[in-house]
Chain A
Amino acid sequence: MTNEMQFKTIVAQYCEVKPEDMKNEMRFREDLGFSSLDFMSFLGELEDTFDVELEEDDVLKVLTIGEALEMLERLQQEA
């Protein structure tokens, strides 16, 4: 499974949208219906799955799927 598919599979746990229907501009809370805690839990799973470390202050700026994917890519490159 590619990074992106793995990422979207995790997203799909918290919402009704299927991975193949997810678009980069979709917002986690407004469009996917994540609660604030779903979002935190999802980020925790990202850390564990992709072995990266997120800064709580940075992640709060992330609103969309595209922004989260970009952040993940950047962290993986830095690691």
Chain B
Amino acid sequence: MGMLIRDILENSVEKFADIKAVKWLQKKDILERSYKELMENVVAVRKGLLAEGFQGKHIALIGVSSVEWIESYLGVITGSTVAVPLDAGLPGEDLIDLINRSDSEGLFLSPKLLPLLDAVLAQCPKLRKIWMLQEEEAEASNEKVVSLADLKKASENSGDCDKPNPEDIATIIFTSGTTGKSKGVMLTQDNLATNVAYVRYTAEPGTVMLSVLPIHHAFCLVMDWLKGFSLGASICINDSLLHMVRNMGIFKPDVILMVPMMVETIYKRLSAADPAIPKAALAANVFGGKLKIIFTGGAHLDPFYIDKFAEYGVDIYEGYGMSECSPVISSNMPGDNKPGSIGRPLANAEIDFDHGEILVKGSSVMKGYYQMPQETAETLKDGWLHTGDKGYLDEDGFLFINGRVKNLIILSNGENISPEEIENKLALGALVGEVIVTGENNGLTARIYPDMDVVQAKELGEEEIRAGLQSFLDEYNKNQPTYRQITGLIVRKNPFIRSSTKKIKRQEAMVDEPMK
């Protein structure tokens, strides 16, 4: 026994056929697709992949949220193929590495990433086909590159795939690894489908959700899209973070999933408004007039914001999860809420503790990391997932977090950053002797001890060292997604303190007298 995303989707299409499943903007027009239309495209992608011989293969997707992206994703996971959603904001070399490491043989690529095409074709030998996420013919001279429309055309004379098994891998989601190398979390059909089913939130069909998070993230993918579809919600695509407030006014959402950083930014706008404006009027202006619920996850939210947003008629419910748990482990819910906690665990999640570390067992816990048996064994022990977070359950069964075991920086935008991954890149700077990256003030700070050989050879003064390092960081930042950019620089006077095994003592990285 087990559950399938395909069954959930087919059930929704049967019940909500004419309800709008997805809405998005094209310039100033709102375009829409009903559940019935959505499913026709999903089936066409699924059959197309079968006709093209991709059964059992891995298919990567690179692009920001779009109706074509989600239809392709659903086409992949409702058939016999495995979807590998990747972060479109990553540098090209990282994307190529992940396509290769995930053994992807097909790729759905956003037309905006056309400049990446030549490098991908040259450096990803396993890729047999690239489908541009567009209906128009693909503008490429390589026969491997076609459009989504071509794939759908290939489906016309094809039969449909059998249903996958609940234990089959549905998707591989990459997440930051503490060793500096990202890990591919393998989630089965049953992992995803039970996470959708056991999050107890219900809503009327046609409830409007605005999807503002990156679609390749498990929280957005599973809770905005898959959970939303299971409820018959209309999911609206926020086309740019520049326009989040404007788009709330256009789509008038009832519910939004956010990361804490979004709540913090919106609060700055609310609190800066003229106090003479009534709160209800201001809320209508900023939130679109119908917003009642924000679910947050990805990082801890200061309960201060929960009280403040309540004054504007918006309830915030904090939850907790990680990609390895498909992703929700616990969540506060309307009618079952304790601010400051991360809610009660889902009914399919058993919780235990090992020296304070939260352990999770249950049907949403991943199968393992793709081709990383050692990392899998370190994280999954006897079926228990070691979360790396410390916490406790209170007398009412609400879960609280109070520390971390793993060396990851969690930013309030929900991004998990492996400091080693960035330090390895920064260490390449000519002026960089030693570097440690820390998370402060919602961003990353590089603490650098300059390479004294270079400093002496070039006879550099304090200001020149700082300017040289800043310009190196600016150059590094140019090619990185915003969450991996370094926004603070501290130039150290002394080398870092090291342990007896000559490793830098990370917990003492802040101990120094900076040059300025």
CA distance A33 to B264 in the complex (A): 13
| B441 x A44 contact (CB < 8 A) | no
User: Which stretch (B37-45, B157-165, B239-247) binds chain A?
Assistant: B239-247
Closest CB in chain A relative to B248 CB, distance in Å? 11
Select A37's contact among B265, B487, B488, beta carbons within 8 Å.
B265
The answer to whether residues A41 and B261 also contact, given A14-B268, A33-B441, A36-B483 and a CB cut-off of 8 A, is no
| A63 x B441 contact (CB < 8 A) | no
Select B262's contact among A30, A37, A54, beta carbons within 8 Å.
A37
| A35 x B265 contact (CB < 8 A) | yes
Q: How many contacting A-B pairs (Cβ < 8 A)?
A: 66
| A35 x B442 contact (CB < 8 A) | yes
Cβ of A73 within 8 Å of any chain B Cβ, yes or no, is: no
Cβ of B443 within 8 Å of any chain A Cβ, yes or no, is: yes
A-contact 0/1 string along B212-246, CB 8 Å cutoff: 00000000000000000000000000001111111
Contacts of B474 in A (CB 8 A): 63
Closest to A40 in B: B241
| A37 x B241 contact (CB < 8 A) | yes
Select B443's contact among A35, A43, A59, beta carbons within 8 Å.
A35
Closest to A13 in B: B272
Closest to B272 in A: A13
Count class of interface residues, chain B:
20 to 34
Cβ of A20 within 8 Å of any chain B Cβ, yes or no, is: no
Within 8 A of A (CB), among B306-347: none
Contacts of B265 in A (CB 8 A): 14, 35, 37-38, 41
Contacts of B243 in A (CB 8 A): 44, 47
Closest CB in chain A relative to B287 CB, distance in Å? 14
Within 8 A of A (CB), among B256-283: 261-262, 264-266, 268-269, 272
Closest CB in chain A relative to B251 CB, distance in Å? 15
CA distance A5 to B489 in the complex (A): 30
Closest to B473 in A: A30
| B442 x A44 contact (CB < 8 A) | no
Count class of interface residues, chain A:
20 to 34
The answer to whether residues A44 and B245 also contact, given A30-B487, A35-B261, A35-B443 and a CB cut-off of 8 A, is yes
Within 8 A of A (CB), among B464-516: 474, 478, 482-483, 485, 487-489
CA distance A56 to B265 in the complex (A): 18
Q: Is the interface of B mostly helix, strand, loop or mixed?
A: helix
Contacts of A33 in B (CB 8 A): 441-442
Within 8 A of B (CB), among A1-49: 12-14, 29-30, 33, 35-38, 40-41, 43-45, 47-48
Contacts of B102 in A (CB 8 A): none
Closest CB in chain B relative to A47 CB, distance in Å? 7
Closest to B241 in A: A40
Cβ of B412 within 8 Å of any chain A Cβ, yes or no, is: yes
Cβ of B413 within 8 Å of any chain A Cβ, yes or no, is: yes
CA distance A60 to B441 in the complex (A): 20
| B269 x A13 contact (CB < 8 A) | yes
Contacts of A44 in B (CB 8 A): 241-246
Within 8 A of A (CB), among B412-458: 412-413, 441-443
| A56 x B261 contact (CB < 8 A) | no
Closest to B488 in A: A30
Contacts of B241 in A (CB 8 A): 37, 40-41, 44
Closest CB in chain B relative to A45 CB, distance in Å? 8
Q: Which of B245, B265, B474 has the most CB of A within 10 A?
A: B265
Closest CB in chain B relative to A27 CB, distance in Å? 8
Contacts of A48 in B (CB 8 A): 246
Contacts of B412 in A (CB 8 A): 35
Contacts of B242 in A (CB 8 A): 40-41, 43-44, 47, 54, 56, 59
A-B contact pairs, 28 of them (CB 8 A): A13-B268, A13-B269, A13-B272, A14-B265, A14-B268, A30-B487, A33-B441, A35-B261, A35-B265, A35-B413, A36-B261, A36-B413, A36-B443, A36-B483, A36-B485, A37-B241, A37-B261, A37-B413, A38-B265, A38-B268, A40-B244, A41-B244, A44-B241, A44-B245, A44-B246, A54-B242, A59-B242, A60-B482
Chain A contacts to B: CB under 8 angstroms = 12-14, 29-30, 33, 35-38, 40-41, 43-45, 47-48, 54, 56, 59-61, 63
List the 10 closest A-B pairs by CB distance, nearest first: A13-B272, A36-B482, A40-B241, A29-B487, A44-B242, A35-B442, A37-B265, A37-B261, A41-B265, A38-B265
